Amino acid sequence: MALKIDNVIPKEQPAREHTPEERALVLRLGVYVNMRWLIVLMIVSATLISSRVFHIGFSTLPVYIICAIIASYNLIFVRQARSLQTGEVGQVIKRAQTSGNIQIVLDLLMLTALMHFTGGIENPFVFFYLAHTIAASILLPQRRAYALATLAVLAITLLVLLEYYGVIPHVNLVGFVLDTRYKDTSRVVAVLVALATLVYGCTYVITAVSGELRRRQKEMVKLRDQVLEKRTMELEQVSSEVVKLEQERRSFVRFLGVVAHDLQSPLIATQSFLSYILDGFTGPITDGQKDLLERGVRRIDGLLTLITDLLDIPRIEAGQITREMREISLNEVVKRSLEGLDNVAKQKELTLKVELPESSPKIIGASRRLQQVVTNLASNAINYTNEGMVLVRVFDNEKDVRVEVMDSGIGILPEDLPRLFNDFFRGSNVGSKGTGLGLSISKRIVEAHGGKIWAESPDPETKKGSRFTFTIPKKQTAVS
Partner 1 sequence: MKQKPKILVIDDDVDLVAVMKGTLESKPYEVIAAYNGKEGLEKAKKEKPDLILLDIMMPVMDGFNFAEQFGKDPSLAKIPVLALTSFSESLGQPFPFQVAEYLRKPLKPKELIAKVEEHLKRGGSQT
Nearer to partner 1, 281 or 424 (CB): 281
Nearer to partner 1, 87 or 314 (CB): 314
Question: Considering the complex, what minimum distance in angstroms separates the CB of residue 220 from partner 1?
Answer: 53
Question: Considering the complex, what minimum distance in angstroms separates the CB of residue 274 from partner 1?
Answer: 9
Nearer to partner 1, 96 or 293 (CB): 293
Nearer to partner 1, 219 or 324 (CB): 324
Question: Considering the complex, what minimum distance in angstroms separates the CB of residue 311 from partner 1?
Answer: 6
Q: Which stretch binds partner 1 (CB under 8 A): 26-34, 114-122, 278-286, 408-416?
A: 278-286
- SS3 percent helix, strand, coil of the chain, rounded to 5, is 65, 10, 25
Question: Considering the complex, what minimum distance in angstroms separates the CB of residue 314 from partner 1?
Answer: 11
Q: Which of 51, 97, 150, 275 binds partner 1 (CB under 8 A)?
A: 275
Please classify residue 466 by burial: count the beta carbons closer than 10 Å to its beta carbon, then call 0-12 exposed, 13-18 middle and 19+ buried.
buried
Contacting partner 1 within 320-359 (CB under 8 A): 320-321, 323-324
Question: Considering the complex, what minimum distance in angstroms separates the CB of residue 15 from partner 1?
Answer: 46
Nearer to partner 1, 282 or 428 (CB): 282
Q: Which stretch binds partner 1 (CB under 8 A): 136-144, 361-369, 391-399, 427-435?
A: 361-369
Instruction: Give yes or no for residue 54 binding partner 1 (CB under 8 A).
Output: no
Q: Which of 121, 134, 138, 300 binds partner 1 (CB under 8 A)?
A: 300
Specify whether the CB–CB gap between 148 and 133 falls below 8 A: yes
Q: Which of 112, 118, 210, 367 binds partner 1 (CB under 8 A)?
A: 367
Q: How many residues bind partner 1 (CB under 8 A)?
A: 32
Q: Which stretch binds partner 1 (CB under 8 A): 185-193, 200-208, 313-321, 377-385?
A: 313-321
The DSSP element (H or E) to which 270 belongs, if any, is helix 185-278
Nearer to partner 1, 71 or 313 (CB): 313
- Phi-psi label, residue 464: left if phi above 0, alpha if psi -120 to 50, beta otherwise: beta
Closest by CA to 142, choosing from 250, 215, 43, 234, is 215
Amino acid identity at 386: N
Question: Considering the complex, what minimum distance in angstroms separates the CB of residue 281 from partner 1?
Answer: 6
Q: Which stretch binds partner 1 (CB under 8 A): 89-97, 242-250, 309-317, 347-355?
A: 309-317
How many angstroms separate the CA atoms of 113 and 63, rounded? 9
Specify whether the CB–CB gap between 309 and 315 falls below 8 A: no
Nearer to partner 1, 320 or 337 (CB): 320
Contacting partner 1 within 244-273 (CB under 8 A): 257, 260-261, 264-265, 267-269, 271-273
Q: Which stretch binds partner 1 (CB under 8 A): 72-80, 156-164, 364-372, 402-410?
A: 364-372
Give the ranges where 10-141 is alpha helix by DSSP (H).
Answer: 20-48, 61-86, 92-117, 129-139
Question: Considering the complex, what minimum distance in angstroms separates the CB of residue 475 from partner 1?
Answer: 21
Nearer to partner 1, 210 or 320 (CB): 320
Specify whether the CB–CB gap between 19 and 221 falls below 8 A: yes
Cβ within 8 Å of residue 57, ≥6 positions away: 51, 172, 173, 174, 175
Question: Considering the complex, what minimum distance in angstroms separates the CB of residue 256 from partner 1?
Answer: 8
How many angstroms separate the CA atoms of 442 and 313, rounded? 10
Q: Which of 138, 152, 366, 381 binds partner 1 (CB under 8 A)?
A: 366
Q: Which stretch binds partner 1 (CB under 8 A): 95-103, 285-293, 317-325, 382-390?
A: 317-325
Closest by CA to 443, choosing from 418, 419, 422, is 422
Does 458 sit behind a cis peptide bond, omega within 30 degrees of 0 on the bond before it?
Answer: yes
Please classify residue 235 by burial: count the beta carbons closer than 10 Å to its beta carbon, then call 0-12 exposed, 13-18 middle and 19+ buried.
exposed
How many angstroms separate the CA atoms of 418 and 440, rounded? 12
Parallel/antiparallel/unpaired status of strands 351-355 and 389-396: parallel
Question: Considering the complex, what minimum distance in angstroms separates the CB of residue 436 from partner 1?
Answer: 17
Cα 70 to its chain centre, rounded Å, is: 50
Q: What is the DSSP string of 119-149?
A: TGGG-GGGGGHHHHHHHHHHHS-HHHHHHHH
Which residues bind to partner 1, rule: CB under 8 A?
A: 257, 260-261, 264-265, 267-269, 271-273, 275-276, 278-279, 281, 300, 304, 307-308, 311-312, 315, 320-321, 323-324, 366-369, 372
